[in-house]
Structure 1
């Protein structure tokens, strides 16, 4: 069977019964499949001209709308090829339009990096030192040409920060989509994808290639030579550090969930394929567990959790919900699997935070709706922050009941303007957000599962240390996604307790700013490594009533 992919015009011969997604991967053609072909996200849509439709048999359990099927759309992960076809791949969201936060709370740092340069006047050369040991020499006086790079390797996004290690100034920053997210949106799907050595090699190659592209972008912006980047700090979750260093992450996906990498060490940049100085090293910050990684420990450092008096809760909301509780500096950490709903995946009209994504939603008492999109463009979908706003407002105004069900338009006490937005699609209730964009009952369930997982983690982490919600002095929300959220929405949907009202602060990208602190001061690395060794990791699965607590956290 011959398959031609459009618009690239790449082609491949495959056996009958091959899925379009399998064929595309063999041909090196990218079709976005965040659930790794599990048939759960519905994002791998491709279109067939009418004459080719009889030769691609749909299958599986994830169905498109009748309107989409009539237009020739099929899911690449489920459509089986039975004859020669041409496949049209829709243009995916531009990386340049993604809204990625690169700033975050930082702490004052005394500049004393691991790398240093010293000029030898007699020899007329500059000595490059790493931890006091000579690693290279350079002609002339290049003591001021000492640079470092911090890469925040998020599950969905990448942020690269170029830092002058003599002055401590950030010279340039750049961000992009993590290319791995096109093959698997969450950590578990990537672990599955990389169980095949070829899949792991692909994940590593694409990630390093994109980091090198960001290196080119920041060095050109700052007029810096890549060969003067002496050290790189990789800050990311445990799985991302495994994939970035081409380390098999399989052990993270099965009991007893032991990481191969524990951090607090260097690896050679050249061995990873990074386009920096030949002598450069990559520092991996210490991690806490398989699911509480270097992004969280870097955030602990940036937020100063070890020094804060009273009770502080630090939460990073994303596909995983990682959290640290600090009580007068004594810390405990936990994580929960929230799933990809907050990234817009598994949501009917969900999308990443790109142009046209609904990022803010507000209801007035009379039912009037206010919608704000990224770049003020026409609405094209709903990103994570908009999703939480929508759920929170619908719950607060009685459109969704406490169990997460849409109310019946007839007989309900909601304003007429809201009743008019309650419709049905394929016999199931939906709420019209803007134009053809709707929130379905299935979408609400996905929100409940995600927020319920995080709320259950918060409840059990507090319980493990005998802390009541009202005893918490401050709540830090970290991460790029978290920075876009509103405290109002987090409490409205019950992701956080009512007792946290007025205590929530949004810190931004502390994975990056914590990485910068580690880059600029070698002593902080030793302090963090010692601090991490004393953190108690709470395994929530060990709580016999976890399921009961989780179910209790699903309601609005």
Structure 2
């Protein structure tokens, strides 16, 4: 047998080491070593973010436009394009390593703040009606004259007290029954799912009848969890963090591609399950709640995230004709899904619509109450994927515009998420072209987040830094326009004032990526409305959900042609509606059943083959749009500047 030669890699400054075979991918070696090296493209060499410096040793690397000739001489390579050829010492700059934890307080509280625009009666009208209950049951003791089996006698007692028959019991619960009945003197606490008449768990009769559940939103970028008291509806505690799958690709397409690789699906699933387990453990420890008192987990997420969470291959979501394995995942024990701190709970999921309109959108429609309103409402979820829904109580239609991660920092050289140090607001001086900005956390800037990018694009256009095609105006005497890495860029922050020690800038390639993203959103809106013979004048409200939405300057989003040019008062920012819908379903059996009705009510429009969408998309690759008649307010601003 031939033994393949192993090479040792030492990563700095972490000092982590790993042995890998010859020709092993350098980026994968870093991931295997537990280093979450940044890469928005999933390791295919198109984002340039996984740049590392080989201090000692030899790698074979493909050429990349992201590596300058000077950097090449100093040993820089894109780790995703590098094969290991010898023992190595590799330096990874700190900013290339993902920070997985979201800073405390960055995600808004689910109660109160999330409804900054939705009528409060949507929440107030919810009757707390959990279908998972705990009840104390006294079971008749067997005798020689009455030696009927334990489960029959338990069923009889449940029927007498709760008027429920035909109880189903999982084998793991049945295994606990005989000893527990006798040790607790024939009095037990049962956990019962009334929707399926399933006996989820049994505990000693001396236990308390506390019932808690977790609402979980599995977003492409962010995981959000709420610990909820099912008796009162109180949100006991909450937590959030970045989805660790980001290291395998920032958008769902790159993650699907990664899932097809050998062991890829398992690595993706393990990453999210480990994070969810950590979040559960933190919330239970902080609140001092016993894991046996957690009876349910309600999950919402897009179709790809849900497939990965359940360990189901998402491959055919990406391949024509774009189908899911299922839109409704069956109720599953937490133990079976490896949620090790709430093994006795049942995991429920909110039903999705199709491949690119998942349960997170169903959840959002439920939370906003769109399906109950007479007024025509447009719902935009501006996460990584960009989903759109329009409708009212009579009908609902939806689509996905595949906006991509550009407005979350992906595909933009100096783009970052909304973390401390991110530039979130931008104003450009008309006379000097100097950029003034505000930074999250009032720290030195490290990059530009989504709201800052929208401001920047709008300001550059209005102040003449770029033209309608997104190209720099080189003849206006702009001192902040520099030639860097073989291309022009506009410098917002010089290296002396940045938190990275390097210039923070935007290039024409970055601008092009942003323009494609904004064009997809606006074109999706126009096409969706036309499919139902409507136009923007018919829209009475626009709800904007998703992490990007809460800090957007609407006027600048209109200036760049991302949002329709209508009365700003019609726009409402809602935050994370997916977690809110999951929360409502956790509390109310009626809401959970209604979410299934909503999913079946939504008619999906496939834009990938829609020629009208493609025509509008091309028209949207100008600022704000090819036809300025769509944007009269912007046209007037241009003449006034």
* TM-score of the pair, normalised by structure 1: 0.93
Q: 2:279, 2:321 → 1: CA distance?
A: 36
Given that 1:233 and 1:284 are in contact with CA atoms closer than 8 Å, whether structure 2 keeps it comes out as yes
Which residue in the other structure is 2:578 paired with? 511
- The yes-or-no answer on 1:532 pairing with 2:599 is yes
Given that 2:102 and 2:242 are in contact with CA atoms closer than 8 Å, whether structure 1 keeps it comes out as no
- The yes-or-no answer on 1:107 pairing with 2:123 is yes
- The yes-or-no answer on 1:423 pairing with 2:423 is no
Which residue in the other structure is 1:179 paired with? 244
Deviates further, 26-35 or 448-457: 26-35
Where structure 2 has 5 or more consecutive residues not aligned to the other structure, the ranges are 1-6, 116-121, 140-185, 495-502, 624-641
- SS of the aligned residue for 2:331 comes to strand
Which residue in the other structure is 2:450 paired with? 384
Given that 2:387 and 2:401 are in contact with CA atoms closer than 8 Å, whether structure 1 keeps it comes out as yes
Report Cα offsets for 1:411-451 as digits up to 9, x if no partner.
x4xxx7xx222222244221111121111111100101111
Q: 1:11, 1:197 → 2: CA distance?
A: 20
Which residue in the other structure is 2:91 paired with? 88
- The yes-or-no answer on 1:149 pairing with 2:149 is no
Return the offset for 1:300.
Answer: 0.2
Match of 2:192 among 113, 116, 129: 129
- The yes-or-no answer on 1:301 pairing with 2:366 is yes
Question: Which aligned pairs between 1:211-360 and structure 2 lie closer than 5 A?
Answer: 211-263=276-328, 265-360=330-425
Given that 1:228 and 1:276 are in contact with CA atoms closer than 8 Å, whether structure 2 keeps it comes out as no
1:451/1:242 Cα in 2 relative to 1: closer, same or farther (>3 Å)?
same
Given that 2:308 and 2:314 are in contact with CA atoms closer than 8 Å, whether structure 1 keeps it comes out as yes
- SS of the aligned residue for 2:417 comes to coil
- SS of the aligned residue for 1:525 comes to helix
Q: 1:97, 1:482 → 2: CA distance?
A: 17
Q: 1:209, 1:476 → 2: CA distance?
A: 33
- SS of the aligned residue for 2:370 comes to coil
Return the offset for 1:279.
Answer: 2.9
1:101/1:194 Cα in 2 relative to 1: closer, same or farther (>3 Å)?
farther
Return the offset for 1:290.
Answer: 0.2
- The yes-or-no answer on 1:495 pairing with 2:569 is no
Report Cα offsets for 1:235-256 as digits up to 9, x if no partner.
1100000011111111111111
Return the offset for 1:365.
Answer: 4.5
- The yes-or-no answer on 1:552 pairing with 2:619 is yes
- The yes-or-no answer on 1:394 pairing with 2:460 is yes
- SS of the aligned residue for 1:176 comes to strand
Return the offset for 1:362.
Answer: 2.0
1:387/1:210 Cα in 2 relative to 1: closer, same or farther (>3 Å)?
same
Q: 1:184, 1:255 → 2: CA distance?
A: 21
- SS of the aligned residue for 2:81 comes to coil
Given that 1:59 and 1:80 are in contact with CA atoms closer than 8 Å, whether structure 2 keeps it comes out as no
Where structure 1 has 5 or more consecutive residues not aligned to the other structure, the ranges are none
Match of 2:61 among 51, 58, 61: 58
- SS of the aligned residue for 1:107 comes to helix
Match of 1:44 among 25, 32, 50: 50
Return the offset for 1:88.
Answer: 2.0
Match of 1:32 among 35, 38, 41: 38
Match of 2:26 among 20, 33, 58: 20
Q: 2:100, 2:27 → 1: CA distance?
A: 22
Deviates further, 370-379 or 96-105: 96-105
- The yes-or-no answer on 1:3 pairing with 2:5 is no
Q: 1:67, 1:165 → 2: CA distance?
A: 61
Report Cα offsets for 1:83-105 as digits up to 9, x if no partner.
32111233324333554445323
- SS of the aligned residue for 1:423 comes to strand
Report Cα offsets for 1:170-212 as digits up to 9, x if no partner.
0000011111111111101111111135111111111111000
Deviates further, 492-501 or 138-147: 138-147
- SS of the aligned residue for 2:418 comes to coil
- SS of the aligned residue for 2:123 comes to coil
Question: Which aligned pairs between 1:451-530 and structure 2 lie closer than 5 A?
Answer: 451-530=518-597
Report Cα offsets for 1:488-529 as digits up to 9, x if no partner.
221121101212533111010100011000000011121121
Flag the structure with larger Rg.
2
Return the offset for 1:364.
Answer: 4.6
Deviates further, 276-285 or 93-102: 93-102
Deviates further, 81-90 or 438-447: 81-90
Count how many residue pairs are aligned between Structure 1 and Structure 2.
545
* TM-score of the pair, normalised by structure 2: 0.81
Q: 1:259, 1:426 → 2: CA distance?
A: 42
Given that 1:216 and 1:226 are in contact with CA atoms closer than 8 Å, whether structure 2 keeps it comes out as no
Given that 2:480 and 2:490 are in contact with CA atoms closer than 8 Å, whether structure 1 keeps it comes out as yes
Q: 1:219, 1:77 → 2: CA distance?
A: 38
What's the RMSD between the two structures over aligned residues? Answer: 2.1
Given that 1:56 and 1:80 are in contact with CA atoms closer than 8 Å, whether structure 2 keeps it comes out as yes
Q: 1:60, 1:101 → 2: CA distance?
A: 43
